[in-house]
Structure formats: structure tokens, C-alpha cells
Chain A
């Protein structure tokens, strides 16, 4: 019985060898018969924790399967070689994935995204909320690995304000501009900043999506835009970058805790029927261009304390084609900041026959001091000219003028981390003098505007900014004509602002 069984076993073994041997031989020694496991390779680096500066800053981190880098893809598996001739080829297996070079994170910008190599200013103060030309959001690659992050941040504010105008003098405006009214206005902005960083290089984009509380405001009106920033840039962190799109130039004039954009203090004692006047602080090309125009800027950081922006503007604005340039330099030692620049802008007509030419020039500078944690203050001065030639090639003396602004601000803080309270004051004087002497050769339009404020701000939970601002402004108008006349206007305002930066 045993012999029979052993014979049968030997026969089966022989048959198996005869049947399988050639196949195995054909397959080659050691060839696998199964594809390698297809599990997803681990990310190249741990998901960003977002805890660089503030642990709760990370909202979502989504490590995703990434495209393998073709340059380092693993060899194809040997299944093709093991296929039996004539059989249906199995579907190709994915290649073994090399460690990915990129991971995607959706991240609330951490504290480190807001660089502060030197102090920016008193914490929670107006200077602190300014970046003095620094590259931000700052999202460098970590530990030498590439990184792709979609940074989320933004801010929103709501103003409840009251304004009263008190004009007087011998002009029609003084009867029509006795105005008093409250307003509430607000904006909230979501900032999305996709950033790809590798080594010390980066490619970054940013869009700021804006919601406005006042739904009757036109898109072209001040504060009515539904997009603030929209730009792309490439460069090396802390060395240089090139930026193109819709964005603001570097700030030179700093106005302190009041005179915020879109507010009564910023407007000053300029009632609807008053002649236009507004401050000049190297501002023709600082703010985001309106219309089909945008900026190109080269930023250069030759020294840790020296930053340079060469900004140009090109496109078509309200009057037609516009070109401009605005180089600005910032020397920042932290406690002392020096800022200065010049600018030039020219608007022309679209029609070939048009002789329209509006040329604006200006120069300005500012000095700021920060003595942490209690006091910061600064002074600003700028002067510029506008020369206006009409479509027909005629000089426009009323629109050809020189504007001069100077002023300062001061903030004081209790320096408390837990209960941060700040006081701020500031003032700004502006004078516009045009060349409108056609009616009376000895008199031209001569306006001046004084804008001032006092503010108190408290920050709740280090997140919610509550600021009360009282404003006072006075304007004086000497209007050329025959006869010339003068009048004054005053404006009082109070404003309560709630802001949330996230």
C-alpha cells in the first residue's frame, strides 16, 4: 500500500515538474508572479501641523495621493514578462510610487506667515498690521522638501458711524451742505493664497474675495470692488520676487489708527457740493488700479533691513490708457523705519486723434519710530503735481495743480498681552493750489484740508478688534473767479469699528 502510494506521489510530482518546468524556466528564475502591492506611498513629509506659531491655525490638512515624479518612477513590474503567450494581457498595474515631492494642505495662515524679522510695530497697533514691504504670506518649504499649501486668511470690518458737516462762508455750498447722517458699512474679505515652495523658491498666487454690506454701492465706487488682490508672483524668499496683477504698492504714508479707507475721517470735510480735495501720500499708484489696468512689480531684498519695490502700472483706466511707475525703498531697523519713493503716471486718450495727457508726479517720505511695547509714532510728507492737457490739446488750469500733504500719528499701548488697549491720535494737512487764474490773474483756487482723529482700541480674545474713532476735519476753500469767494467746512464724525482678522 505504501509502495503504491509512493509511486503515485512520484508520478504526480514528475507530471507537475514536466508541466510547470518550462513555464517557470521561461519566466526566469526568481521572477515574481504577482504585481507588487499598490498601496499609496506615504507623503513626502508629515502633513503640516500648522503649529509653527499657533496650534489652532490649521483648519484642514489634506494629504492627498500625488502624482509620482516621472523622473524617479520605479521600473515597471514584470507581469508583462510573465504573461502566457496568447492570453489576454492583464491591465497594467500602477507603478510603484516614489516618495511624492508635494503635498497639499489647506491651511489657515499660521503666525509665521506674517513675517516680523524686525518689529512691525506695537502689537495690535496700526503699524503692526502693516508689512513694510515684507514678503507675505510667508510660506517657505519645510526641511528642504517641496510644499504646496493653499493658505486661507482674511479680515472683515463693520463700521457704524455718524457724521455732521458745518459749512460757513459766502458760498452756495454753505446752505446746501449742512448735513448730518449715520451710516453702517462693512466689508469682509476671504484671502486665498496658493503657494508652491521648493528650496528657497516659491510660486504664489492670491485672490481676495470681497463681500460688502452696502449692496447699493457700485462696483466702481470706493470700497465697492468685489475683488481686492488678484496676483501671481515668483521669486526667492527674502531675496527677490516678481509680482503681476492687482495689488497695492508699498505703503509710504502711514496714517495711524484712524483715517481708514472708506471712512468719514478719510474723506474729511468735503461735503457732496464741495470742491474735491484729498490727501496726497505718494498715492497715485499705491492703491489697486481701477479698470482694465494692473501692476507689475519687482521686489528686491538686498539686505535684511533694506527693501526695494519697482512698481509699474499698465492698462486702461477711466480716462484711457495709463502707464505709471512708483519705485519705493524701505529701510527698516525695527525701532526706526524710513520710507521714501517717487512716482510718475501718465494717462492718455484711446483715440489716435486724442491729445489728452494727464501727467502726475510726486515724491514722498515717512519716518516711523517704534518703542515697544508702549509707544510708536511717525511723520509723513509728500508733494506732487498734476498737469492736465485736454482731448483737444488745451491746458486745463483748473485740473493742473500742486498738492502737498504732511502730518503724523502716535499710538500708545498698555503692552498687555491679555488685555491689549491702545490709544491713537493723528493729523494730516493737505493743500491744493491749481493754475486757474483765467478769471482773475492774481487769484487761483487754493484749498486746504485738515484731518485729525483720536481713537481707542481694545482687542477681545486677541481676535476681535473694537475701535472707537472720533474725527475732526476742516477745509478751507478759496475759489477763483470774478469775484473770488471763500468758504469753510467742518466735519465731525464718530465711528465704532469691529474687525476680525483671521
Chain B
């Protein structure tokens, strides 16, 4: 997965770099005002290229450090909650702008080191879990000034918390957040966001269902390309 994330990241950068080169490559057409008309019918107006249509497709890759959270698991037949350790992961998002600033897309993510800070049980702490979230992304971006926008987003989805050698927990997950979106070139952007992610995962052991969920303050540091 890490290799895949790296590959996707490099691909995005490569796409963006190409887009930027294309921005620079075409020579600007000579302005029409340079042609002298001895009998001008009206004041000549400098030619300006029409504004490029706003890109609709957005593909991004984010680093997701989650330092603050709660982790809940069944320990000794009881549901036990404790402070979550720093988890880290990566998220990929692909959105399409449907109307004005509203966009719709998908945002799968993977999170490692899903664990307690200090294991609350009396036995040896189990190894850390891995969480995979398959989420949709609904976002609205408010352009503040050129190159800068503020966005809010909701990411509902389905989550799987897995641990080698034990039954996986799964269930609904939703993340709510907002952030700043910064346009670096016509096609490359960077974003910084923060939010909260609530997991409603559970696991069934010997016919009994227990909460087995993770909830985090979610930080997203990323970037990507727009087309």
C-alpha cells in the first residue's frame, strides 16, 4: 500500500508538472492593439485570452496524521475505551465539481498504528491495528480570493479495522472537516485541513457484538492536480 501511495503521489506530481509546462509553452498571441488603424472606429481594446474554464476534476493525495483520539475494543469481555496512540495514514481523493463549488467524489484512506497509547488490559498489549476506510466525499469550496479557497467536507463511508490473527471489526464511519485549498499553478493545488472522524465499527465475538471503534481528530496535509 505504501508503494502504491508513493506511485500515486509521483504520478500526480508528474501530471501536475506536465500541466505546468503546458501553461508556459504556448507563446502568447500578439495583442490586437498593436495593429495601427489610421481611422479607428473605436478605441482598440487589448486582447486578452478568455479565462480558462474552472477545472472540474480534482485528484488529491493526503498525509493523515491523527494524534488525538479514542480507541475502543473489547478486553476481557468488556468494552474498554482509552486514549488512542498517534495514527498515521494516507488518503486518496477524486472529486468532480458538479455545481458552483460543490463537488462529489470518493476518498479511500488507510490508517496505521490504530492502538491504545497505554493498553488498559492486564495482559500483554496486542499489536496495532490497521484501518481501511472507503468513503465518499461531499465538499463545498468557497473561493476567497484568487488561488485561495476555504472548503468544508463530509466523508461518509464504510470502515474495516483489521488485526492479523483476529476477527476484523467493521461498520459505518464519517468524517467532517474543513480546510484551506491553495492553488499553486493552474493545475496543481495544496491543501491543509482538519476535522473529526467518528467510527462506529463493531466486532462479533462468540455471538456477542462489541464496539471496536476508533475516533480521531483528523489532519490532512496534501496536494494534487485539477483538470
Which residues of A approach B to under 8 Å, CB–CB? 166, 168-169, 374, 412-416, 418-419, 421, 423, 425, 452, 454, 456, 458, 470, 472, 474, 488, 490, 492
Contacts and interface: CB of A to CB of B under 8 A. Distances in A.
Interface in B133-176: 145-148
A428 to B, nearest CB: 15
Interface centre among A413, A414, A416, A425 (most CB of B within 10 A): A414
A169 B118 contact: yes
Given A374-B184, A414-B183, A416-B147, A423 B118 contact: no
A454 B183 contact: no
Given A414-B148, A472-B67, 7 more contacts: A413-B184, A414-B183, A416-B147, A423-B221, A454-B65, A490-B86, A490-B117
Interface of B: 65, 67-68, 83, 86, 117-118, 145-148, 180, 182-185, 190, 192, 194, 219, 221, 223
A415 B183 CA distance: 9
B192 A456 contact: yes
A472 B117 contact: no
13 contacts: A168-B83, A374-B185, A412-B184, A414-B147, A414-B148, A415-B184, A419-B145, A421-B182, A423-B192, A454-B219, A456-B180, A472-B67, A490-B86
Given A412-B184, A421-B180, A166 B221 contact: no
Contacts of B67: 472, 490, 492
Contact of B182 (A423, A425, A452, A492): A423
Interface centre among B86, B147, B180 (most CB of A within 10 A): B147
Nearest to A488: B117
Given A414-B147, A415-B184, A454 B192 contact: yes
Contacts of A470: 194, 219
A416 B180 contact: no
Closest 3 CB pairs of A and B: A168-B118, A472-B67, A414-B147
Contacts, number: 58
Contacts of B223: 412
Given A412-B184, A456-B180, A419 B147 contact: yes
A4 to B, nearest CB: 88
B26 to A, nearest CB: 20
Q: Is the interface of B mostly helix, strand, loop or mixed?
A: strand
A474 B84 CA distance: 13
B86 A421 contact: no
Contacts of A472: 65, 67, 86
A416 B219 contact: no
Contacts of A413: 184
Contacts of A416: 146-147
B195 to A, nearest CB: 13
Contacts of A414: 147-148, 182-184
Nearest to A410: B221
Nearest to B180: A456
A412 B190 contact: yes
Contacts of A490: 67, 86, 117
A418 B147 CA distance: 10
B146 A419 contact: yes
B218 to A, nearest CB: 12
Contacts of A452: 65
Nearest to B146: A419
Interface centre among A418, A452, A472, A492 (most CB of B within 10 A): A472
A374 B24 CA distance: 16
Nearest to A168: B118
Contacts of B148: 414, 419, 421, 458
Interface centre among B86, B182, B219 (most CB of A within 10 A): B182
A169 B119 CA distance: 10
Contacts of B183: 414
B182 A166 contact: no
Contacts of A168: 83, 117-118
Nearest to B190: A412
A413 B185 CA distance: 10
B56 to A, nearest CB: 21
Contacts of B192: 423, 454, 456
B221 A421 contact: no
A454 B147 contact: no
A470 B182 CA distance: 18
Given A419-B146, A421-B148, A474 B86 contact: yes
A378 B11 CA distance: 23
B23 to A, nearest CB: 13
Contacts of B118: 168-169, 488
A458 B147 CA distance: 12
Contacts of A374: 184-185
B87 to A, nearest CB: 12
Contacts of A492: 67-68
Contacts of B147: 414, 416, 419, 421
Contacts of B221: 423, 425, 454
Contacts of B194: 470
Nearest to B118: A168
A473 to B, nearest CB: 9
A490 B69 CA distance: 12
Contacts of B117: 166, 168, 488, 490
Nearest to A419: B145
B224 to A, nearest CB: 12
A468 B118 CA distance: 30
B182 A412 contact: yes
A413 B118 CA distance: 39
Nearest to B222: A423
A277 B183 CA distance: 39
Nearest to B63: A425
A472 B86 CA distance: 10
A421 B67 CA distance: 25
B77 to A, nearest CB: 24
